[in-house]
Chains A and B, each alone.
Chain A
């Protein structure tokens, strides 16, 4: 698990086309999934952020145990992306859960912002309220704006809110 200022773990995971996607910086790493209502409620806001920050690499990673949660299977992930007509970021399957463990992901969603030097600059929720679309993932946007401007992050850490990551037993 990494703390703010610590080096973000690198990774390479398959996206829903089966293509390996390697970690590049600056980046936003979002642990998310198919079955969690919190992840679904924030989904559109996070996709919009990815569209708005084209110079940042975005990665959506599903870390859940697909055996116990078939809605989070790799096949279900592929179907979802296909059904949506594509996503503005790769949706990747962390089958071994090693990436989620390395980041210390707790929930879906759980958002990590990494600067061009590979240091973690923000970790937490997209914004304060999953029910309020007008917020537009403001905590994430604020962290990105400050990072890209070379400033200190005013709010580097918030409590992630969502369903617990479903670890394998």
Chain B
């Protein structure tokens, strides 16, 4: 299983996203290291199909697929938690579900 965290320094959310991701990988017994990919400019954002920071991909798939037509750019992603609140990081249970679907 390949796990990637794509991030941009303009958003302060990536340390929390990484901490949540690493904790959940440990809890689920998933033998994966997180590859961190810093996105530094718009061209790289387009090349990496980066819809914003942070983006977590497992085996190349975004764990929270962006909406249709979402541009690729240096921006902060807006996630929705399961309680409906806006958040700069994905709901940990969404991360857990994505990990479980690969380790099951």
Contact = CB atoms under 8 A, between A and B. Distances in A.
The answer to whether A and B assemble together is yes
Given A163-B10, A164-B10, A41 B75 contact: no
Contacts, number: 40
A71 to B, nearest CB: 8
A37 B64 CA distance: 15
Interface string A119-147: 00000000000110000000000000000
**How many B residues touch the partner, as a band?**
10 to 19
Nearest to B42: A68
Contacts of B73: 68-69
Interface in B66-97: 73-79, 85-88
Best-buried of B10, B11, B12, B88 by chain A (most CB within 10 Å): B88
A interface SS class: loop
A37 B12 contact: no
Contacts of A69: 73, 75
The 6 closest A-B pairs by CB, nearest first: A37-B88, A164-B10, A40-B86, A37-B78, A163-B76, A41-B86
